């Protein structure tokens, strides 16, 4: 095979191929006939690919990634041998940093470069820690090259076919191991969005493959880290709890009326009218506690709080149900024999309560207790529930997306083995 430092003659068609990698180029595809061959005379291997595909990053184009300007040297389409899925890799070169790979699958991009470390050391096959991150195995596979274009610093076809690949992820990072009978190569990778690739290589984003699904190293944007979100939620919860304790202690919670009523006391009337009671000290809350000794029965009441000075009315209803039983060796019960109605900001004045009762089959009595300036416990419960909504949504959404990420992995932690 003839050639010099800057050009190599194709052994099949005789075309002259200028090379960008100079003496570093050890394999390439002919610009004229597209045959893949080795530079020099060390091997006469020729490969003609049946598949053909255009690269979205042209051979020879340059892109600036992390302040390093890389040139695209070669383009490869690889196919996994078991499930036959394909992805694309670009060989990049920077004279100061060396070579790297830009891998693309389903519109998701990873920049991968060789490292000298052995990150895994003696850790288990499934996961290990490296640089403060836990990496979990995502896939193990073998592959072959179905198409290549450009030039390479190694026999990309032979290396791909002779190695077993392991990929471990800690999004947005990955660690990849290429292992053969006589060599081990570790690489580190990082996820890049289509926007970042388009900007780096100064090409329109519309020319890049459309992104679909969840990239296996794609991180999820969020204004919170998990630990920070939990700490913030606990902090706000403690503040709300302390505030509720303060309100409870400051509330007067003064009983202003207590009465017991029986069905027989109604006679021909349809309602009970309580004696008048006074509410003092401006506008404050009022709690009406209702209790009935019901068992497998119910009670319903309509209530009207009447201001005897100006005739203002405050209406509310309450229903009690309580059932119990014994079935299949287990006792059960549901409902309650008591309930509370909370009225806020009731002005001071003289009041009475009109009660329109509706008794069940067996029950014939009930009692009420009216308290002034009663603390409202439900405010705390509503606040606590509101505080839980976002963390629950956050972690549920995160789990859902993680399940989608690991859906195609044989090592998914979300599936029962």
pLDDT in tens, 120-133: 876 666 789 999 99
Contacts of 21 (CB under 8 A, 6+ apart): 73, 93, 151, 153
Q: Is the pLDDT of residue 417 over 60?
A: no
Contact assessment for residue 203 and residue 57, using Cβ atoms and an 8 Å cutoff: yes
Q: Is the pLDDT of residue 416 over 60?
A: no
The tokens for 163 are 């190695």
Find the Cα–Cα–Cα–Cα dihedral 393, 395, 401, 405, rounded to 10°. 180
Q: What does the pLDDT look like over 11-40, one tens digit per residue?
A: 999 999 999 988 899 999 999 999 999 987
Sequence ranges of the domains in the chain: 49-207, 252-374
Q: What CATH topology corresponds to 252-374?
A: Jelly Rolls (2.60.120)
Q: What does the pLDDT look like over 187-215, one tens digit per residue?
A: 999 999 999 999 999 999 999 999 999 99
Distance, CA of 135 to CA of 168 (rounded, Å): 5
Q: What does the pLDDT look like over 277-311, one tens digit per residue?
A: 999 888 888 999 999 999 999 999 999 999 999 99
In Å, what is the CA distance from 329 to each residue of 51, 278, 296, 324, 326?
A: 70, 52, 19, 13, 7
Residue 174 confidence (pLDDT):
96
Distance, CA of 20 to CA of 9 (rounded, Å): 14
328 vs 348, residue with greater confidence: 348
Q: Which sign, positive or negative, has the C-alpha torsion 409, 411, 412, 415?
A: positive
Confidence category of residue 245, pLDDT binned at 50, 70, 90 = low
Residue 237 confidence (pLDDT):
72
Contact assessment for residue 80 and residue 144, using Cβ atoms and an 8 Å cutoff: no
* Residues written for the chain: 417
Confidence category of residue 1, pLDDT binned at 50, 70, 90 = very low
Contact assessment for residue 306 and residue 352, using Cβ atoms and an 8 Å cutoff: yes
Q: What is the mean pLDDT of residues 359-373?
A: 92
Would you call 301 helix, strand, or coil by DSSP? strand
Q: What does the pLDDT look like over 250-265, one tens digit per residue?
A: 556 789 999 999 999 9
What is the rounded radius of gyration, in angstroms, for the C-alpha atoms of the chain?
38
Structure pTM? Answer: 0.68
Q: What does the pLDDT look like over 376-403, one tens digit per residue?
A: 666 666 777 777 787 888 888 888 888 9
Nearest to 102 by CA among 68, 142, 129: 68
Q: What does the pLDDT look like over 154-190, one tens digit per residue?
A: 999 999 999 999 999 999 999 999 998 888 899 999 9
Q: What does the pLDDT look like over 81-138, one tens digit per residue?
A: 999 999 999 999 999 899 999 999 999 999 999 999 888 876 666 789 999 999 999 9
Confidence category of residue 2, pLDDT binned at 50, 70, 90 = very low
Q: Is the pLDDT of residue 147 over 70?
A: yes
Confidence category of residue 329, pLDDT binned at 50, 70, 90 = confident
257 vs 374, residue with greater confidence: 257
Share of the chain above pLDDT 90, in %: 63
């Amino acid at each position: 095979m003839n050639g010099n430092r800057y050009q190599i003659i194709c052994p099949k068609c005789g075309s002259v191929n200028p090379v960008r990698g100079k003496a570093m180029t050890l394999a390439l595809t002919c610009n004229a006939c597209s045959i893949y061959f080795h530079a020099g005379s060390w091997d006469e291997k020729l490969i003609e690919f049946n598949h053909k595909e255009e690269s979205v990053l042209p051979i020879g184009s340059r892109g600036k990634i992390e302040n390093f300007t890389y040139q695209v040297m070669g383009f490869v389409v690889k196919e996994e041998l078991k499930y036959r899925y394909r992805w694309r890799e670009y060989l990049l070169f920077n004279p100061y940093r060396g070579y790297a790979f830009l891998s693309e699958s389903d519109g998701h991009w990873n920049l991968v470069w060789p490292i000298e470390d052995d990150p895994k050391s003696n850790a288990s096959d499934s996961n290990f820690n490296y640089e403060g991150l836990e990496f979990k195995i995502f896939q193990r596979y073998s592959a072959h090259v179905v198409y290549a274009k450009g030039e390479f610093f190694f026999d990309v076809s032979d290396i791909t076919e002779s190695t077993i690949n392991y990929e471990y992820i800690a999004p947005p990072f990955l660690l990849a191991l290429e292992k053969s009978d006589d060599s081990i190569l570790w690489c580190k990778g990082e996820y890049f969005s289509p926007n970042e690739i388009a900007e780096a290589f100064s090409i329109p984003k519309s020319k890049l493959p459309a992104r679909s699904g969840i990239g296996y190293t794609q991180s999820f944007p969020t204004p919170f880290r998990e630990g920070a979100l939990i700490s913030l939620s606990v902090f706000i919860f403690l503040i709300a709890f302390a505030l509720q304790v303060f309100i409870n202690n400051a509330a007067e919670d003064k009983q202003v009326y207590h009465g017991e009523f029986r069905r027989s006391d109604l006679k021909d009337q349809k309602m009970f009218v309580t004696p008048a009671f006074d509410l003092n000290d401006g506008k404050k809350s009022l709690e009406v506690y209702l209790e009935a000794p019901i068992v497998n029965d119910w009670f319903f009441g309509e209530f009207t709080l009447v201001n005897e000075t100006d005739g203002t009315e405050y209406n509310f209803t309450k229903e009690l149900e309580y059932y119990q039983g014994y079935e299949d060796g287990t006792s059960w019960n549901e409902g309650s024999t008591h309930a509370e109605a909370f009225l806020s900001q009731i002005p001071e004045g003289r009041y009475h309560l009109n009660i329109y009762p509706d008794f069940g089959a067996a029950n014939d009595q009930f009692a009420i207790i009216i308290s002034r300036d009663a603390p409202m416990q439900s405010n705390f419960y509503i606040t606590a529930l509101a505080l839980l909504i976002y963390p629950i949504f956050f972690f549920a959404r995160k789990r859902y997306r993680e399940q989608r990420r690991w859906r195609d992995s044989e090592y998914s932690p979300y599936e029962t083995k």
